[in-house]
Amino acid sequence: MPNPVREEDPPATEAVAPSPLVHAGIDTRTIESTDGRPANVDARVVRPASRGNLRALWSMRDFRVFLTGEAISAIGDAVTLTALPLLVLALTGSGVAMGVVGVLQMLPDFVFGLLAGAFADRWDRRRMMLYSDIGRAILTALIPLSIPLGIPTMGVILLVTMPISTLRVTFMAAYTGAVPNLVGREQIGPANSLMEAAFSFGYIIGPGIAGVLAAVIGPGPTLALDAVSFLASAAAIATISRSMRAERTESDQRHLLHEVAEGVAFVTRHPILRPAIGFWGLSNIATAALVPAVTYYLTRDLGFSSTVLGLAIAAEACGYFLGAVSGARVTKDLPIGRVIITANVVTGLMIFAFGQLTQIPLLVLVSFAAGFSNALVLIGYITLRAAVTPDQLLGRVGSTARMVSLGLQPIGMLVAGILLDTVGGGGTLAAMGLTSILASGVFALSRPLRRAELQSVSV
């Protein structure tokens, strides 16, 4: 049950709870920032988004165009999520090779993540996203083109994977502030609702499309669909007229590294953020190679077709969508820290169970359940992170969190690649599930995280 939800880039804006049906009510308080200066900060209480707000958002041309472009791009992302592991496995038959590609995908988050977040607060975010999409379209197209041109496809994959991921990092850094720039801060929550729904829909239908196309024309040519989706996103962004440049004052004209360090320092000193990001980071390391492991287990260990893989991913996406819809009420009625920890235990159990099952209906059911519980974990985590972070640090705290959760995933990728070649997909999935459960148990010992509630956390 691969997890199609990208925390490096959650579809939701970093400033608010990412559930599809919630938005933030804002109560402004004055606190001190990390350098001792007063700062206006939002304490957020989650409540449902109104239909009136959603209709008003849809009337905004720039946002409507951006939403459409990103929805198409999400379908392409879901296609690659399914087709690329199949292609690498078909070319090499090696779990280690799948792990190496995974490392190349995640390494830019560790190397460039913090700098990209700081640059996004200085540069034109629209241009950052536009050029990133064009670059990713060109580089992604090289993979399917290598087949008719007779160029070694695996060599092309190794050559372009890290540059593609570097452009993804720059895109997501700019995306963090793009939606607030488009709709204004008072409409961030409803806008987030629509964006989350669009991304979820893409990951529901994308894997099925990829599974069918991979079976008919092969996984390599299937990746051309992702290249086209990047061009669609770029075309949409190019037509946006509203400025996406961050507003800066004289006090903001500090050295780039000073701004990066300020965000890191805030995270390391905060009693809730520190264990929350550590918890999410360890869980992400444990499940870094979940898609390759599921691919290996279904197609090699069990001998199923790529269509079954697409079905499993789509089932996970459906479960995630339902969990996201339920997430607002669950995190509102229950202590959010306990929701995060408990739901992650359930996710670990589902991953473990998936690696022991052989019947397709049960595999689909477990995938759905894992998606539901994982949505509660992800939504709870990002909601809590946003609720305790000052507005002027949201971008840098988000970049720091992504560096930890995604930048360290190469460790998990390499370990999982070795496990796939030694114990197979089932054993690797069992190890992932047990490690996720262990991470939940370790961080359940953190009293600030365990007892965190949306109604009581403050910044």
Q: What is the pLDDT of residues 428-442, one digit of tens each?
A: 999 999 999 999 999
For residue 159, how many C-alpha atoms fall within 13 Å in the half-sphere facing its CB?
Answer: 13
Does the pLDDT at position 40 exceed 60?
Answer: no
CA–CA gap between residue 378 and residue 363 (Å, rounded): 22
pTM above 0.75, yes or no: no
**Quick one: pLDDT at residue 44?**
36
Does the pLDDT at position 133 exceed 70?
Answer: yes
Q: What is the DSSP string of 59-90?
A: T-HHHHHHHHHHHHHHHHHHHHHHHHHHHHHH
In this structure, the dihedral spanned by the alpha carbons of residues 291, 295, 297 and 303, taken in order and rounded to 10 degrees, is 170
Average pLDDT, the chain: 79
The better pLDDT of the pair 307, 2 is held by: 307
CA–CA gap between residue 11 and residue 364 (Å, rounded): 24
- At 191, list the tokens: 């806008």
- At 304, list the tokens: 């199923």
In this structure, the dihedral spanned by the alpha carbons of residues 365, 420, 308 and 327, taken in order and rounded to 10 degrees, is 40
* Pairing mode of beta strands 22-32, 38-48: antiparallel
The string over 431-454, giving b where at least 16 C-beta atoms fall within 10 Å of a residue's C-beta and e elsewhere, is bbbebbbebbeebbebebbeebbb
Q: For residue 388, how far is the Cα from the chain centroid?
A: 20
Count of beta carbons in the 10 Å neighbourhood of residue 225: 20
Q: Which residues contact 359 (CB under 8 A, 6 or more apart)?
A: none
CA–CA gap between residue 370 and residue 160 (Å, rounded): 31
What 8-state DSSP symbol labels residue 452? -
- Beta-ladder partners of 31: 39
Does the pLDDT at position 357 exceed 60?
Answer: yes
Each residue's pLDDT tens digit, 200-245: 778 788 877 888 888 888 888 999 999 999 999 999 999 998 877 7
**Quick one: pLDDT at residue 395?**
65
Q: Over 295-342, what HEC string results?
A: HHHHHHHCCCCHHHHHHHHHHHHHHHHHHHHHHHHHHHHCCHHHHHHH
- At 226, list the tokens: 């992702």
Q: What is the CATH number of domain 22-450?
A: 1.20.1250.20
Contact predicate 26/44, CB 8 Å: yes
Each residue's pLDDT tens digit, 92-107: 888 788 888 888 888 8
Q: Which residues contact 232 (CB under 8 A, 6 or more apart)?
A: 69, 72, 73
Contact predicate 412/281, CB 8 Å: no
**∠ CA 8-14-17 to the nearest 5 degrees?**
115
Nearest CA to 164 among 185, 140, 184? 140
Nearest CA to 226 among 216, 213, 240, 239? 213
**Which band of pLDDT confidence, cut at 50, 70 and 90, is reported for residue 188?**
low
Does the pLDDT at position 15 exceed 80?
Answer: no
**Quick one: pLDDT at residue 13?**
30
H or E stretch covering 24 = strand 22-32
Nearest CA to 77 among 234, 225, 198? 225
